[in-house]
Structure 1
Amino acid sequence: MYLIRLLLGLVYYFPAFVANGSGPLVKNGTPIDFRKNFQDGRRILGDGKTFEGLLMGLTYGTTVGVVLSFFFGVHWIIISFMEALGAMLGDMAGAFIKRRMNIPRGGRAIFLDQLDFVLGSTALGIISGLRVSLTQFLFVIMVAFIAHITTNVMAYRLRIKSVPW
């Protein structure tokens, strides 16, 4: 029963995982920051955060919610949209922090790279009705950390990403 609850936590976060993983599939797009610099002279977000990637993440994450709604109720469409939005905003917040730390696009920031989307999706997910236990949340963080590293190495080998992190 305990394992089922942990795995259910992963199912709850599946829209966020899908949203976060779909953004990098967009190769060229319009940067969300319109190539503007922040007051420190560095880019606000960078070329990796595009409107097209945001739209793709929201679309894919919400589509997962449509499927989940057959099992958990129609309210999961809204929860999934909010999780996807939170994941994308969390990822953008991570990019903003990395730029402030003078870490270039594609640069490595351990923990921030792996967990920014989980924190963002949790915040907006809870606001919209997501109910997860602390244990489920911590399990998702652990899985996200491992999955992020693994999928990035695979994306690098498939030439979807230019760096393996």
Structure 2
Amino acid sequence: MHPKLIIQLLALLGLANGMPVIMNKLMGKRWSYPMDGGARFVDGQPLFGASKTVRGTLVAVLATAAGAPLVGLTWKIGVAAGTAAMAGDLFSSFLKRRMRLHVGDRATGLDQIPESLFPLLACHLRLPLTALDIAAVIVAFLLGEVLLSLLFYRLHLRERPY
């Protein structure tokens, strides 16, 4: 097991998933274009939903690229982690829309596992990640996101806790 690497990756996941929320609070709807452009899937539901924005995705990737060297990883790892985290977030949103869940509805596990697993898979060839490391990051991220969402709610960064 690689405790330092686990902490480094959790920091990147925190940046990737937290920065869009913070940016939304700071900027509101400015430059907030939906990733799906308002498109609907064959089931008539939005592809991802209006809360998944180009701005949020770009901020997540840029923040993880900038943050990676600060935690001892390369900016390329940061880009890979941020991009894959946002792909996992979009995948979760896509599935939640198919399940007819509304934007912001809680889906514990579905909200966290792809957002943490996708970046780990994207980085595993460049980092010495073991299966135990991957499991530890996913569990820590899931628990951490649930706890941090309560904090973000109390700080008025989220409209409701998960």
Structures share a fold, TM > 0.5?
A: yes
Q: Which residue in the other structure is 1:53 paired with?
A: 56
Match of 1:60, as an amino acid? A
Match of 1:99, as an amino acid? R
Return the alpha-carbon distance in structure 1 between the equivalents of residues 100 and 76 of structure 2: 36
Q: Which residue in the other structure is 1:23 paired with?
A: 20
Q: Which residue in the other structure is 2:103 paired with?
A: 105
1:53-81 CA deviation, whole Å, 9 max, x = no partner?
0111011111112324xx45xxx211111
Q: Which residue in the other structure is 1:160 paired with?
A: 157
More helix by share: 1
Q: Which residue in the other structure is 2:92 paired with?
A: 94
The two structures, once aligned, show a CA RMSD in angstroms of 1.6
Match of 1:145, as an amino acid? L
Aligned residue runs from structure 1 range 1-165, under 5 A: 5-25=2-22, 26=24, 27-28=28-29, 29-68=32-71, 71=72, 76-127=74-125, 129-165=126-162
Match of 2:161, as an amino acid? P
Return the alpha-carbon distance in structure 1 between the equivalents of residues 12 and 87 of structure 2: 14
- How many Å apart are 1:159 and its aligned residue? 1.6
Paired residues of 1:16 and 1:118 also in contact (CA < 8 A)? yes
Match of 1:62, as an amino acid? A
Paired residues of 2:153 and 2:161 also in contact (CA < 8 A)? yes
Moved over 6 A (4+): none
Paired residues of 1:13 and 1:83 also in contact (CA < 8 A)? no
Paired residues of 1:15 and 1:83 also in contact (CA < 8 A)? yes
Report how many aligned residue pairs link the two structures. 156
Greater shift in the superposed pair: 5-14 or 96-105: 5-14
Provide the TM-score with structure 1 as the length reference: 0.87
- How many Å apart are 1:125 and its aligned residue? 1.6
Paired residues of 1:6 and 1:135 also in contact (CA < 8 A)? no
Secondary structure at 1:56's aligned position in 2? helix
Paired residues of 1:31 and 1:49 also in contact (CA < 8 A)? yes
Return the alpha-carbon distance in structure 2 between the equivalents of residues 124 and 155 of structure 1: 28
Q: Provide structure 2 residue ranges, at least 5 long, that are not aligned to the other structure.
A: none
Paired residues of 2:9 and 2:137 also in contact (CA < 8 A)? no
Greater shift in the superposed pair: 103-112 or 6-15: 6-15
Q: Percent identity?
A: 24
